[in-house]
Chain A
Amino acid sequence: MNTIIATVVGALASTVVLVGGVNAAQDENKPVSNEKLYSYADQ
């Protein structure tokens, strides 16, 4: 039972860490451009 639980929890944790880490790392800081400055949704 312990093995099954550890496997499931480990799989979930590693998935979250891998996918989350990769996506967070790919995110970039986006200074706002003049064209988009006044468009509320683009700021």
Chain B
Amino acid sequence: MIRRRTDLVCVAAVTLLILGPLLLGRGFWLVGDMVFVPEQPWKPAWLGLDGALPRAVPMDALISLATQVIPGDLVQKALLVGGFFTGGLGVARLVADHAWFARAAAITLFCWNPWVYERLLIGQWAILLGYLLLPWVAYGAIRFRREPRDWGPAAVALVGSAVCSPSSGVMAVGVLLALGIGRDSRGWLRAGILAVFANLTWILPALTADSTRVTTDGVFAGFAARAESGAGVVASLFSLGGIWKTSILPGERTSAVLVTLACLLSVAALAGLWRVGPDRARWCLIAAASFALALLPVVPGGAGLLEGLGGHVPGLALLRDSHRYLAPYGLVLAVGISYAVTAVRERIRPGNQALWSAIALVVIAPLLLLPSLAWGAAGELDRSTYPDAWGDVAALIDDDEVTVVLPWAGSYRGFDWNHRRAVLDPAPRLLPGQVLVDDTVRIEGREVPAEDPRVRAVDEALDEDDPAAALRDLGVRWVLVEHGMGEVGAPSGQTVHDASGLELIDLSNAGQYAVESRSVWPEMTRSREILVTIGHLCVVLLLLAGATVILRSGSNGHHTT
């Protein structure tokens, strides 16, 4: 009990230090892909029933349900706080046999590192949650290997990871296979079944997404890891940094001295890994595979190879932004540093008690090496509140109507009320009905074209001489113009709302918009609905069965690594 209390205090301190500004009052952190809204209306798309690629399926469904009863900003706070507690306590559980300071070293390195900073600042909170679930995937996998009937923890953790994002689900499967498979061939079969069933929630929508095309041209090179400092890209990755989006880098990561010192911490963690015991090779395999995957697009020919393969295997598009696949490597380092600290403790004798200072330094090193993560990325993340105009606009639109959002130039916005911080347009999540935003990705002077044909249809309509008529023919009734981000040429129509930088134009005033043959309305086919729904039901059943196994076996306490 005391052991858990010390872990809890450590995790609480780290969480409070990182998320403090978010927790001090109401309001949202809105940055990059991190978009929460006060109330997210329910749409079939949240379950992947609309034929689009399942980027946030079924997480959007869960968020939508949660915001029906709890305000969105509180949902965001609960998810982020819960995530850090889950991750910190999970990694402490993995090294439960170690002294409190060794567990504290694992907690600080796992929860406070460049990968966490960079994913938080890019707004990929769901992928961050997937990372924070990895210790529980590892915990469940090890139990599963030791006792195949004890598959409950692995199943629950796998489902949780798959819910976060497809790439989180893939990483969790990798950890399961590395740690959860023994020599028994039936173990492979069981693990395979678990892995596939847990991920059905996004696999089936992806396989039945008939209205999208995935572009891999240039994306692997565009999203490849970068050198943050003069120490080079390998050093950046070795110390858990190296994201492609250089504009969000904290000052510390541009210092070769600090990146090199961070590498020393990684070396210490990997050295500690040798004391893990028989599972050492498995942990090393995870670290090596994770690191290699992140490095692959950087090595000569690597991006070209992935691009070539991606032309034949669309699923490989999952590997773009390969830096995210460093997540399992972060888990390995956290486990390793705990063993390293324990090794140092065992060498302390009268005459070298100063080694305690080395232990203390290792515990707080992640914080010293990356002070910018403290207190909302050193003030970078301020809370924001949506102007009332967003709610007013949402109230004017019905569930069965189509809205096009302008400016038609990418899907990121810099609203004044959000401190001009770039954030994914909140309109598709905040407004009811079908909301279309240009999802063209512009990176390094090149454009990754929109994947959704409905978006391309709007693109062409906006280029017509009479865009209002062309949009009406597509079935579009509303145009929402978000002002304050450059000049926007809006189609002609009746403005029914104009306040706080939001102008809502009704196209139906000048002519009837297509109702029966709306080519921009999602293609809802019965077979897809049935198939995808069955997939979600399978995942729910797996979750319930896994939870039952946990409750029956009284999943407690054994050490794991």
* A interface residues, Cβ below 8 angstroms from B: 1-3, 5-6, 9-10, 12-13, 15-17, 19-21, 23-27, 29-32, 34, 37-43
Contacts and interface: CB of A to CB of B under 8 A. Distances in A.
Contacts of B358: 5, 9
Contacts of B410: 37-38, 40
Given A24-B250, A38-B442, A6 B412 contact: no
Given A1-B351, A24-B378, A32-B421, 19 more contacts: A1-B352, A2-B351, A12-B261, A12-B361, A15-B257, A16-B258, A16-B261, A16-B369, A17-B368, A23-B251, A25-B251, A27-B252, A29-B379, A32-B422, A34-B485, A37-B412, A38-B412, A40-B442, A41-B247
Contacts of B368: 13, 16-17, 20
B413 A41 contact: no
A5 B357 contact: yes
B414 interface: yes
The 10 residue pairs across chains A and B that have the minimum distance between CB atoms: A43-B422, A27-B251, A38-B410, A31-B420, A23-B251, A5-B354, A2-B354, A40-B443, A6-B354, A16-B368
A12 B260 CA distance: 12
B421 A31 contact: yes
22 contacts: A2-B353, A5-B352, A5-B358, A10-B357, A13-B368, A16-B261, A16-B369, A19-B257, A20-B255, A20-B368, A20-B371, A23-B258, A24-B371, A24-B372, A27-B372, A29-B379, A37-B485, A38-B442, A40-B410, A40-B442, A41-B246, A41-B443
Interface of B is mostly: mixed
Contacts of B379: 29
Interface in B406-444: 409-410, 412-414, 419-422, 441-444
B442 A39 contact: yes
Contacts of A20: 252, 255, 258, 368-371
Given A2-B351, A16-B258, A40-B412, A24 B442 contact: no
A25 B372 CA distance: 9
Nearest to A12: B361
B443 A34 contact: no
A8 to B, nearest CB: 8
A31 B416 CA distance: 10
Contact of B443 (A21, A27, A30, A39): A39
Nearest to B441: A40
A13 B442 CA distance: 41
Contacts of B444: 41
B32 interface: yes
B486 A34 contact: yes
Contact of B422 (A23, A27, A37): A37
B317 to A, nearest CB: 16
B1 to A, nearest CB: 33
A23 B444 CA distance: 26
Nearest to A17: B368
A27 to B, nearest CB: 3
Most chain A CB atoms below 10 A, which of B252, B441, B443? B252
Nearest to B122: A43
B380 interface: yes
A8 B441 CA distance: 48
Interface in B299-358: 351-355, 357-358
A29 B379 CA distance: 8
A29 B414 CA distance: 14
Contacts of B32: 43
A42 to B, nearest CB: 5
B481 to A, nearest CB: 15
B420 A24 contact: no
B422 A9 contact: no
Nearest to A16: B368
Contacts of A42: 247
Nearest to B448: A40
A31 to B, nearest CB: 4
A32 B414 contact: yes
B371 to A, nearest CB: 5
B414 A34 contact: yes
B252 A23 contact: yes
Contacts of A3: 354
Nearest to A35: B486
B125 interface: no
A27 B255 CA distance: 12
Interface in B57-83: none
B105 interface: no
A21 B170 CA distance: 37
A38 B485 CA distance: 10
A10 B422 CA distance: 41
A5 B247 CA distance: 39
Contacts of B420: 31-32
Contacts of A13: 361, 368
B245 interface: yes
B263 to A, nearest CB: 13
Nearest to B32: A43
A17 B523 CA distance: 57
Contacts of A32: 414, 420-422
B250 A27 contact: yes
A10 B354 CA distance: 11
Contact of B251 (A15, A24, A34): A24
Contacts of A21: 371
A32 to B, nearest CB: 5
